[in-house]
Amino acid sequence: MAATRTSSAGGSLLELVLIVAVALGLALGIQAFLVKPYRIPSESMVPTLEVGQRVLVNRIGMRFGDPEVGDVVVFHPPRGAEEFGEQCGGGPPPQGSPCAAPTESRADVNFIKRVVAGPGDEIAVRNGHVILNGERQPEPFAAPCGGSSGCDLPDPITVPADHYFMMGDNRGASDDSRFWGPVPEEWIIGPAFATYWPPDRIGTL
């Protein structure tokens, strides 16, 4: 009887280990290929997303469709965007214009911003508001710009093919495509679709 109980206990322990291993594998697989959590690191998306808030990012979304204007996405910015002294591909843009091209390589960090223009779109910025193809966009999510250097860029640029122009909702405190250019589609990780922390801000985006 003692031997039977020992064998049964050993089997239960092995079963528990296997269950934990499978659960861990599934969790890692889901995070790697399907859904990934992301913590908001800065104030660039206030008031939509606060510092420390957590969102879920759909990692397979980019395989079934292109980003749309208005989507909040996580992406790799151009190299140089992660440092002070923003870098624009080809050198600083002409005064009064947004950056028209990114640097050639991408940074290893992740940013989260809103898509405000897509391939072939013409974009300018006036008082922090997007002028898309000559029309000011309704942007109830955007915070007042406050007179920073990127608030007025009235000379339009055209977004290159397969690129997307990103801006934070906190227009006066966001380091974004105005300074380091549009983002190639292949650098976009996926759209953020829901918030799960803190509990009082759980919801969809």
User: So which residues are the catalytic ones?
Assistant: 44, 113
Strands 188-197 and 183-184: unpaired
Residues, the chain, total?
A: 205
Q: Is residue 44 within 8 Å of 173, Cβ to Cβ?
A: yes
Strands 129-132 and 135-136: antiparallel
Q: For the chain, how long is the longest CA-to-CA vector?
A: 86
Q: Which two tokens stand for residue 3?
A: 């031997």
CA pair distance 67, 194, nearest whole angstrom? 16
Q: Is residue 167 within 8 Å of 179, Cβ to Cβ?
A: no
